[in-house]
A and B are shown apart, each in its own frame.
Chain A
Amino acid sequence: MKKIILILSLLAYFGAQANPLPTAVVNGSKDERHVIYAFVNAHIYIDANTELEDATLLVQDNEILDVGDNIQVPDGAIVHDLDGQNIYPGFILMDSDYGLSEAPQKAPFTFFGKEIMDSTIPGAVNTNEAIKASYNAINEFHHDAKKAKALRKLGFSTVLSSKHDGIMRGTSTLVSLNDAADQSSIVNSQQAVHLSFDKGSSKQLYPISLMGASALLRQTWLDAAWYGDGKEDYTDLDLQALNDNKPKQNVFEVKNWQQAVLANKIAKEFNKNIVFKTSGDSYKHVDAIKKMNRQLIVPLSFPKTPDVSDELDAWNVSLDKMLEWEAAPYNLVYLNNNGIEFAVVPKEQKTFFKDIQKAIKKGLPESAMLAALTSTPAKILSNKSLGHLRKGARANFIITQGGVFNKNGKIIENWVDGKRFTINEKSMLDSGNYQLDFAGLDEKLTLVNKAGNLSFKSSDKESKTKYKSKVTNNFISFEIKKGDETTKLLGLVAKNSVQNIPGQLPAWSMKRVSDAEKKEKNKKKDKELIPVVPRPFSSYGLQQPSTDSSFLIQNTTVWTNESDGILTETDVLIKGGKIVKIGKNIQAKADRTIDGNGMHLTAGIIDEHSHIALLSVNDIATNSSMVRMEDALDSDDINIYRNLSGGVTAAQLLHGSANPLGGQSAIIKMRWGATSDELLIKGADPFIKFALGENVKRSRSQQSIRYPLTRMGVEQVYRDAFSNALDYEKEWKAYNKLSKSAKRKTSAPRRDLMMDATLEIINKERFITCHSYVQSEINMLMKVADDYDFKVNTFTHILEGYKVADKMLAHGVGASTFADWWSYKWEVNYAIPYNASIMTKVGVTTAINSDDAEMSRRLNQEAAKSIKYGGLSEQEALKMVTLNPAKLLHLDDRMGSIKVGKDADIVLWSDNPLSIYAKANKTFVDGKLLFDRERQSEIEIQIANERKRLIEKMNKSDEPKKPASSKPPKKMQCDSITGYEYLLGAVK
């Protein structure tokens, strides 16, 4: 293939005429040339790290013949004297849709429309429309002279072109910007396989979330492997393509650093070789990016400067946004300093060089930038003939005056495949001092040549004479303005000199006589320090938490949640993340001793039903058991810190309620500052969200066609899922029993992640938290579970639990409910605030949960409502947000009470914790003090000072400003798709 391309390219040389492909008709005489070009006296960047002065580059056809500072110019070579000019390897554009049709528009999502359940794409393709693995860019590539010209202007000679549509996007093609026939433009017809989490133009319902896209990726890779065993009895071109392209490099486009970490995790599960196209936000967690040990393709993407000159506008700009504004331009610097390999792509072509200069100004070495545009892309592409100018390389190079990344530098020529494209006029007149001779006038002028823009000034500062000049090709028009008198002259330009056109009058000339006096740069610019990046990337990540690891809390009221009840004037020692000692007058050394006099100490609050710290909440397949909330964790969510401020130390992050079988839970501790993986509670039992009622039957969509639309259908969804899961298990058991030789002759069953998760439930390896409201459906699910011989673990919401509390007790299911929510939809019309207390009185393990980032900070108050409604004791009430949720999550051996040996997840309250007047003063997670109200004012002052500093910095910035505005916060609840439903009139 390569050889053919080479031959084609040879023939394509000097493609101003039609390219004579070997099979093409020659309409006239054959015109084939093999000229040797010698570029001499040049400053040559052979690659990002190798420079030669006064060197020679020999080029023939589309190949570098030789390069060096001691090279004989062959006879007959055409010599280009590049004295004072530079040669760089041509740039490689690693992310583009050049030469392809535009990706179709993203299909807009609607809450209320008729769902499209299946793929709308005809043909023997994958059943999910977001899987477009059989797409090959090469099949539709057609070179685009206008776009090619624009890219060459930026120094690019080679482009990786892919279709940005779908989760599996098929292959890209690597093409040359040589303006030759399409047949001669292709460098590698199928270069890489492209992926993302974005379903793109797919009109099909599933998936709509990050974790859904993750599940689809996993399932599709599994399907491909299964399909590839050749035992399938149907045709799927996409699975076929995945198998055909398996050895290829994968390029994964991500929208934020969290997605990169997630994609990396999935890629590792499947042993995939991956390069990331990032969004330019790696600086937010460069350690996590470094840990991945992958190459990156990074856009030069910098946030626009918000206009904060008006103090009321400024008030609406969050410090988080300001910190982004300050740190993002350093993104490449952070990557470079951490030894992460990256290629750079423009975000906006218009500002490409400006953005490059900005990154360099922030501290990125020019050599690193050059590598990011040449050798690193070539390395990613595994292409040895690109990205450098050593012997044998493709003849892709750019010739510049001035450094290519320099503000005053410019590209003169861009040679692609040995073919010259002129980009800018070469400037003949260098900056310096000139002697002007005209009509007896003998004046010294100083020229400043800024990338071809000439500005002459008299060297005599007192002089009032003004000069204007314009160079067009070889001519210069020169204007002298002295008082009211203006003289216009025309001349011819030679190297550093100007002369009147021979024989024409008036006679005049100008000649460069000396270099300009170097101005002493007094303005020593304060070298900007690389900004310290908060971790998590949040205003509340600026302060590092206390490193103390042992605390003695003295003389306080301890609500043990154990048989000891409430202990007064008691000390508690925590150390190494555990509760070590409880008693009076404990004599022990601790990093810090806290006087708890007048305060109350309780176990940390556990929110059984939360949707904070998630990038998305709902997917929408009727059985979504294959989606995992841990794929969508967001460790930067400020709500983690806010939860700490309300005494919350752990939570179950649930999938939403769009489906009878929802996704798998992530059970986390509020370890503010940890990465997403570290938030997860290791060894916690796996849980899954189920949902019943109005949300799963899509009650608010008049046009819904998704099964089920009734509670009758909901039951059948379960029976169908569980029966099929058992069948699936049987199939696998039978297969696994086979001998090795028999296995070879038998089709392995298809591995189905949905069935895997469903089966885990029946096999008591995964536990259900079921969103539920009315008694009929609660009853139904318990009956279904009984029939399949397992127990429902928890009913959540369970607002009519009070009607079937006896049946719940008999089944052994727990309840996690709201204190007093009702009236927002029909199925909660008979909800009563006595629900929790009735279930408790009957003996059901009952918890109070939030489902709401705001309320989760006040769960102690919600628990206290069961004292008003239902007359529970204070200790019973507190257990509903501590010990009982721990029991429901099977974590009560580690959490939920103050007992020696348990996790030191504890809260010191300012008052009786059931009082409306109680505030969490100190919240400990794993024995670490992660929220300390005493430090709040200090933190708030720090935030205020940072704001002030950055507002000043923004006001001083000479970058264009965009209007400042504040974005309302996302609020994730059970039925959230976007998190902004509360603003858009979509009801709960």
Chain B
Amino acid sequence: MRIFLLLMTISSSVLALAPTPAGKQTQSIVYHNANIHIGNGEVLENATIAFDNGKISRVGHFKMAWQKSDIDLKGKHVYPGFILPNSSLGLTEVGSIKATVDVRETGQNNANVRAIVAYNTDSELPPTLKFNGILLAQTTPQGGLVSGLSSIVQLDAWNWQDAAIKTDDGIHVNWPSSMHGKFDFSTFTFKMVKNKNYKKQLEVIKSLFEDAKNFDDNKQVNLKLAAAKPVFNGSRKVYIHTNNSKSIIESINYFQSIGVKGLVLVSGPATEPVIGFIKKSEVPVIVGSVHALPSQEDRSVDDGFTTAIKLHKAGILVTIGYPGNMGSRNLAFTAGTLVAYGMQKEQALKLITGNAAEILGIDDNYGTLETGKSATLIITEGDALDMRGNILDAAYIDGRKINLNGRQQELNNRFLKKYDK
């Protein structure tokens, strides 16, 4: 294996490596005649966007003389870089090989475990996401009752410190439910059984947060309580993961009752029967997956495609995720799917840009193309939510023009050349 990799590096200078991260923006960039999708629901046609030192300096319609270096986009599209929440990106390389998987620490309470330190900037996966317009992601631990701390990263970086745009943004809690599934190999059937540890599990979660509330790290050493403490001053969010309607109610009620403000629900179809409650509690939602089969035989055939639409229509702040690593590059197309099933196009775009930034708490700088915010954006030939139009001309992170070609493009070129095509 090591020899194999060595050979690969000799045979091609690019092939086995992710693209070199781009350098800082050195000169101002101006694009004209662009369809600028702001990411807040608005779109500006034939407009201009300019950025300098990594920040957007102008966006809109201006009567100014063009500079020589200005570029005419001739109706191409500009979008904010897409944001992928709740992802194992950088923590998992090849799913079936344990040595390449860093997503799930052992134990039930891992409040202090930090995804950011395991985030692999040299992973082969981020280039494939960038190629489709995803420039930011939340790298998120999984498993146990309290999985640990996520961070928000940009996908073109030398190392994790360089990648981090918001470190330890949230603590991830898997709220248990009173029933859980079990495969019985003796009868070869899947059964729903009572979760015997339900109360104990709740106690693990509750004692962590209640003890953290009054925890004073000057008096005592406890890394877990220290990790949970910031949720009470609003500097760290709590991400509740559950796809059980009653657990949604219980968990939100619980965290609100102990004074946690930054709550985010990561869920799916189980939100639907409690939409009213979620709306009233003002908790935003990350819909885990759009490409999902209906959760039950009798549900609408479009069940998975419409959960986010229903939540949005109810007035809930919502974004969408994409489970697993291999498919998450299709995030934009799942937003497109929402359009097919009834959401407005710019609104669907907003889900994976403006809304995602707001929910993850990075909207001061990211998520929309507004003056003063980071120039983290993509330029596409066509409609970026459609496979046929999602063809990137360029992408910028903080004004840095990033290299979009990774190993997959390199292999494509190599073999087209071999076959003379």
Interface residues of A (CB under 8 A from B): 105-106, 108-110, 311-312, 315-316, 318-320, 538-540, 638-639, 641-642, 645, 694, 699-700, 802-803, 805-806, 820-826, 829-830, 832-834, 838, 841-842, 853-855, 857-858, 861, 864-865, 867-870, 874, 910-911, 914-919, 936, 940, 943, 947, 963, 965-971, 978-980, 983-984, 987-988
Contact = CB atoms under 8 A, between A and B. Distances in A.
Given A802-B411, A838-B415, A315 B273 contact: yes
A689 B304 CA distance: 31
Given A854-B292, A966-B295, A980-B190, A315 B245 contact: yes
Q: Which of A105, A821, A868 has the most CB of B within 10 A?
A: A868
B194 A867 contact: no
24 contacts: A105-B186, A312-B274, A316-B296, A539-B298, A645-B302, A821-B327, A823-B94, A825-B94, A825-B95, A826-B97, A829-B124, A834-B408, A834-B409, A842-B419, A855-B291, A857-B301, A864-B388, A867-B388, A868-B391, A915-B386, A916-B333, A943-B298, A966-B192, A980-B181
Interface of B: 93-97, 124-125, 179, 181, 183, 185-188, 190-192, 194, 245-246, 273-274, 291-298, 300-302, 304, 324-327, 329-330, 333, 336-337, 339-341, 385-388, 390-391, 408-409, 411-412, 415-416, 418-419, 421
Given A820-B330, A825-B95, A864-B387, A108 B185 contact: yes
Given A318-B297, A841-B419, A914-B388, A824 B326 contact: yes
Given A316-B296, A820-B330, A966-B192, 14 more contacts: A109-B185, A320-B297, A538-B297, A641-B301, A642-B293, A642-B301, A803-B415, A832-B408, A861-B333, A865-B387, A870-B412, A874-B388, A965-B192, A968-B181
Contacts of B301: 540, 641-642, 645, 857, 936
Contacts of B183: 978, 980, 983-984
B295 to A, nearest CB: 7
A622 to B, nearest CB: 21
A841 B421 contact: yes
Contacts of B327: 820-821
Contacts of A979: 190
Contact of B387 (A641, A916, A966): A916
A826 B98 CA distance: 11
List 4 A-B pairs, minimum CB-CB distance, nearest first. A916-B336, A539-B298, A319-B298, A965-B192
What is the interface of chain A mostly: helix, strand, loop, or mixed? Answer: loop
Contact of B419 (A318, A699, A805, A825): A805
Q: Which of B125, B327, B339, B415 has the most CB of A within 10 A?
A: B415
A319 B191 CA distance: 18
Contacts of A700: 96
Contact of A963 (B187, B194, B385): B194
Contacts of A936: 300-302
Contacts of A540: 297-298, 301
B387 A967 contact: no
A491 to B, nearest CB: 52
A243 B235 CA distance: 79
B14 to A, nearest CB: 14
Contacts of A841: 416, 419, 421
Nearest to B323: A982
Contacts of B186: 105-106, 108
Nearest to A825: B96
Given A320-B298, A853-B293, A858-B291, A823 B185 contact: no
Contacts of A867: 387-388
A694 B421 contact: no
Contacts of A319: 297-298
A980 B158 CA distance: 39
Contacts of A803: 415
Nearest to A978: B183
A797 to B, nearest CB: 13
Contact of A820 (B329, B415, B419): B329
B250 to A, nearest CB: 11
A539 B325 contact: no
B185 A110 contact: yes
Contacts of B296: 316, 318, 966, 969
B411 A834 contact: yes
B419 A806 contact: yes
Nearest to B95: A824
A105 B333 CA distance: 49
Contacts of A983: 181, 183, 190
A987 B95 contact: yes
Contacts of A968: 181, 190, 295
B303 to A, nearest CB: 10
Contacts of A861: 333, 387
B124 to A, nearest CB: 7
Contacts of B300: 936, 940
Given A311-B273, A820-B330, A838-B419, A969 B94 contact: no
B96 A318 contact: no
Nearest to B340: A917
Contacts of B273: 311-312, 315
A736 B300 CA distance: 58
A829 B324 CA distance: 15
Contacts of B333: 861, 916
B94 A829 contact: yes
Contacts of B329: 820
A245 to B, nearest CB: 28
B339 A916 contact: yes
